[in-house]
């Protein structure tokens, strides 16, 4: 569980924040502001919530779910 | 609200582990944060040479001359960053240069009246400011950001586990009981009182420390690897400008300052002109003005070659998120309420230092009252050595600042070396000479108190020649700031003495008087 809390939480928070900045149906600067400023609260919330999951696998799944928008954005950027 | 035993246990463990892992670093951050808070005052205090000079007859700042003085130290490379800073009522002006290509960094101070370079004799203010975010350690800034997250996690989980009895914990302090209970009460009361302070400081601190890393991740995940897109969105639509490498003559610095003043509708000239792409065809100048709490930013961006105003914060549409960031950062840096707010912040920072220490006491008393485990014995001695040692080392740093000869070679580095050496020695002493936690704390606290108060005695002895004039004329801003810092030192001295006296009334330490042999594993192991 310690790995998912220490590594999964920040990656998921940044992924979700980047996803908001990229896909939120808002003006570009507003979306960036929301995405950037939500990273810290998301990170802290995930660190507090992940240990409550019933299993480590489920905790990783939560992280993956949060990070998906960022990962999709990253793939789009890399693949052009 | 009551949680299930499993939830409570998980949050309790998270609170304890995040707290104990970050505790010593957080103590250093909050203790040195007090000096970062009083950076201006400490800056005025640290160099007695700048006192007593009349400021009424100072000419307006000549930015042209400041840039000429930068060039006199060696022509900066085309495309490098060059900046100058000068306040209208100060004799001192500052300049700096950094070149990303070569990694070269330099900074200078000048006497604005004579144009002479003022040799550096001390770095106390800057080094204690850097300590606040471990700047001297590679990756220290990012590490501080992670510590900020751990601080927020410990705070949130601390509230969660005490939600059921928050009202009672708010007032309960049983000082007559043993460390486990009195420490626990102090931990909760101070923790709850400082909650808004810690959340704001933690959140804004993480943003400040991790913005580069998070910005880099956003560049790839949200903006297809194009950092200029983020820059454009954050600058309110001003296209990102990168130096071309082609040299071109720069626009008059004094005229740039005047145009910035007009664009910002300010009464005074800017205090800083920061040039990105110095001497380049594509050169950008950022002009900044003195700000007072919660005032809107009045920064102006100009073209360094043509002098054209590219953006003025006071006239342009506010950038989304900037107002929120400004609020957070104004709260972080205490840019409001003047010196009074700084003293309130300092009190809260010292209270948080107490929360950290009592947190470790609770950890030790609950889990291993007899200190049977090696890890817990090390934690106890490290907590005492690092935390109390930092108080002693800082006092020694101030004392060295006042006692070392002014013409000593590399004086600033010698002072800093004294600080680090005293801190290192103080951190390891509890491993060799352990007389119980309370007695050792009392010893450290008395030494710190004596040193802080000695600094004041030395100060008044050294400056006695100026004392008469202190009482017969108005003090300059610089001198007032130095006196405010003198008050900070007095508070630190009296506070240390109070800690020492508080230890006297306590009974014998709970932990046994074990020395190094009990901390380290046996040789045969």
Q: What is the 3-state secondary structure (H, E, C) of B90-139?
A: CCEEEEEEEECCCCEEEEEEEECCCCCECCCCCCHHHHHHHHCCCCCCCC
What's B247's DSSP letter? B
Q: What is the pLDDT of residues B460-518, one digit of tens each?
A: 877 654 555 555 555 667 778 888 999 999 999 999 999 999 887 654 444 444 444 44
Rounded Cα–Cα distance for residues B230 and B449 (Å): 50
Window B:184-243, CB contacts with A under 8 Å: 203, 206-207, 214-215, 217-218, 220-225, 230, 233-234, 236
CB contact, 8 Å: B152 with chain A? yes
> What does DSSP say about strands B309-312 and B104-111: parallel, antiparallel, or unpaired?
unpaired
Cβ within 8 Å of residue B64, ≥6 positions away:
B252, B253, B254
Which residue, among B374, B369, B375, B391, has the nearest Cα to B437 in the 3D structure? Answer: B369
Of A36, A41, A51, nearest to B214 by CB-CB distance is A36
Q: Do B221 and A37 touch (CB under 8 A)?
A: no
CB contact, 8 Å: A71 with chain B? yes
Rounded Cα–Cα distance for residues B319 and B268 (Å): 24
Mean pLDDT computed over every residue of chain A: 92
Model pLDDT, residue B519: 47
Q: What is the pLDDT of residues A26-57, one digit of tens each?
A: 988 899 999 999 999 999 999 999 999 999 99
Rounded Cα–Cα distance for residues B364 and B20 (Å): 10
Q: Edge-to-edge, what's the strand order for the sheet holding B92-99?
A: B104-111, B92-99, B81-86, B272-276, B284-288, B300-303, B309-312
**Percent helix / strand / coil, chain B, rounded to 5:** 60, 10, 30
Matching residue, tokens 């779910």 = A65
Model pLDDT, residue B18: 95
B156: helix, strand or coil: helix
Of B220, B222, B319, nearest to A29 by CB-CB distance is B319
Burial of B265 (0-12, 13-18, 19+ CB in 10 A): exposed
Burial profile B72-88: b = 16 or more Cβ within 10 angstroms, e = fewer:
eeeebbbbbbbbbbbbe
Q: Do A18 and B221 touch (CB under 8 A)?
A: yes
Q: Give ipTM to 2 decimals.
A: 0.95
> What does DSSP say about strands B92-99 and B284-288: parallel, antiparallel, or unpaired?
unpaired
Model pLDDT, residue B25: 97
Q: Which of B221, B223, B233, B323 to mutate to test the interface with A (most CBs of A within 10 A)?
A: B221
On the CB side of A4, how many CA atoms lie within 13 Å of its CA?
A: 21
Which residue, among B452, B319, B311, B326, has the nearest Cα to B394 in the 3D structure? Answer: B452
Rounded Cα–Cα distance for residues B139 and B495 (Å): 33
| Cβ B63 vs Cβ B257: under 8 Å | yes
> What does DSSP say about strands B92-99 and B81-86: parallel, antiparallel, or unpaired?
antiparallel
Q: Do B233 and A47 touch (CB under 8 A)?
A: no
pTM of the complete model: 0.88
Q: Do B321 and A39 touch (CB under 8 A)?
A: no
Of B149, B230, B324, nearest to A44 by CB-CB distance is B149
- pLDDT tens digits, chain B, 525 residues: what are they? 678 889 999 999 999 999 999 999 999 999 999 999 999 899 888 987 766 565 556 788 899 999 999 999 888 999 999 999 998 877 888 999 998 888 888 889 898 888 889 888 899 999 999 999 999 999 999 999 999 999 999 999 999 988 877 777 777 777 777 767 777 888 888 888 889 999 999 999 999 999 999 999 999 999 988 888 888 888 777 777 888 888 988 899 999 999 999 999 888 899 999 999 999 999 999 999 987 666 767 889 999 999 999 888 777 777 777 778 888 888 999 988 888 999 999 999 999 999 999 999 999 988 888 888 999 999 999 999 999 999 999 999 999 999 999 889 899 999 999 999 999 999 999 999 888 888 999 999 999 999 999 999 988 877 654 555 555 555 667 778 888 999 999 999 999 999 999 887 654 444 444 444 444 444 443
For B384-433, the DSSP string reads IIIIIHHHHHHHHHHHHHHHS-TT-TTHHHHHHHHHHHHHHHHHHHHHHS
CB contact, 8 Å: B8 with chain A? no
Residue B67, token pair as written in the block: 């840039």
Residue B289, token pair as written in the block: 């003005």
Model pLDDT, residue A17: 96
Contacts of B207 in chain A (CB under 8 A): 37, 40
For B328, the closest chain A residue by CA position comes to A37
Q: Do A74 and B223 touch (CB under 8 A)?
A: no
Q: How far apart are the CA of A25 and the nearest CA of chain B, in angstroms? A: 14
B285: helix, strand or coil: strand
Rounded Cα–Cα distance for residues B41 and B22 (Å): 29
Rounded Cα–Cα distance for residues B37 and B60 (Å): 28
Q: At residue B158, what are phi and psi to the nearest 5 degrees?
A: -60, -40
| Cβ B85 vs Cβ B289: under 8 Å | no
CB contact, 8 Å: B143 with chain A? no
For B158, the closest chain A residue by CA position comes to A48
CB contact, 8 Å: A34 with chain B? yes
Model pLDDT, residue B258: 95
Residue B80, token pair as written in the block: 């490098």
């Amino acid at each position: 569980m310690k790995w998912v809390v220490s590594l999964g939480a920040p990656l998921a928070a940044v992924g979700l924040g980047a996803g908001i900045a990229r896909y939120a149906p808002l003006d570009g600067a507003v979306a960036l502001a929301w995405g950037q400023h939500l990273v810290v609260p998301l990170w802290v919330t995930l660190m507090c919530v992940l240990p409550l999951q019933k299993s480590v696998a489920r905790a990783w799944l939560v992280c993956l779910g949060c990070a998906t928008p960022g990962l999709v954005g990253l793939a789009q950027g890399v693949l052009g | 609200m009551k949680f299930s035993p499993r939830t409570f246990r998980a949050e309790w463990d998270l609170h304890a582990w995040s707290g104990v892992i970050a505790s010593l670093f957080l103590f250093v951050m909050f203790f040195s944060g007090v000096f970062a808070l009083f950076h201006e005052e400490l800056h005025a205090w640290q160099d007695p040479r700048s006192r007593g000079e009349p400021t009424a007859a100072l000419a307006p700042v000549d930015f042209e001359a400041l840039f000429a003085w930068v060039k006199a130290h060696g022509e900066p490379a085309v495309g490098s960053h060059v900046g100058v800073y000068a306040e209208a009522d100060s004799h001192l002006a500052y300049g700096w240069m950094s070149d990303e290509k070569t990694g070269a960094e330099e900074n200078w101070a000048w006497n604005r009246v004579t144009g002479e370079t003022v040799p550096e004799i001390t770095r106390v203010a800057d080094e204690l400011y850097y300590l606040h975010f471990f700047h001297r350690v590679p990756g220290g800034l990012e590490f501080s950001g992670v510590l900020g997250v751990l601080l927020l996690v410990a705070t949130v989980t601390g509230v969660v586990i005490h939600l059921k009895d928050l009202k009672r914990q708010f007032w309960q302090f049983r000082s007559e009981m043993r460390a486990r209970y009195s420490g626990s009460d102090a931990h909760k009361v101070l923790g709850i009182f400082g909650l808004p302070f810690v959340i704001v400081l933690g959140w804004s601190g993480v943003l400040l420390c991790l913005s580069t890393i998070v910005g880099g991740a956003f560049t790839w995940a949200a903006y297809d690897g194009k950092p200029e897109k983020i820059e454009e969105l954050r600058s309110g639509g001003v296209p990102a400008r990168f130096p071309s490498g082609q040299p071109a003559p720069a626009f008059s610095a004094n005229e740039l300052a005047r145009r910035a003043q007009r664009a910002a509708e300010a009464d005074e000239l800017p205090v800083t002109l920061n040039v990105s792409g110095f001497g380049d065809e594509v050169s950008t100048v950022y002009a900044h003005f003195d700000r007072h709490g919660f005032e809107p930013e009045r920064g102006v961006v100009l073209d360094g070659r043509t002098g054209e105003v590219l953006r003025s914060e006071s006239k342009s549409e506010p950038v989304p998120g900037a107002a929120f960031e400004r609020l957070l950062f104004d709260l972080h840096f205490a840019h409001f309420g003047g010196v009074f707010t700084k003293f309130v912040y300092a009190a809260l920072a010292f209270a948080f230092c107490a929360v950290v220490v009592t947190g470790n006491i609770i950890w030790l008393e609950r889990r291993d009252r007899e200190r049977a485990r090696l890890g817990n014995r090390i934690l106890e001695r490290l907590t005492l050595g690092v935390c109390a040692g930092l108080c002693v080392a800082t006092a020694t740093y101030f004392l060295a600042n006042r006692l070392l000869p002014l013409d000593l070679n590399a004086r600033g580095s010698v002072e800093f070396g004294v600080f680090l050496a005293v801190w290192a020695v103080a951190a390891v002493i509890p491993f060799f000479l352990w007389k119980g936690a309370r007695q050792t704390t009392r010893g450290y606290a008395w030494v710190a108190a004596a040193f802080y108060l000695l600094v004041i005695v030395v100060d008044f002895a050294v400056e006695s020649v100026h004392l008469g004039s202190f009482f017969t004329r108005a003090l300059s801003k610089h001198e007032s700031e130095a006196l405010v810092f003198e008050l900070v030192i007095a508070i630190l001295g009296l506070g240390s003495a109070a800690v020492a006296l508080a230890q006297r009334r306590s009974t014998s330490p709970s932990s046994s008087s074990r020395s190094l042999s009990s901390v380290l594993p046996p040789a045969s192991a």
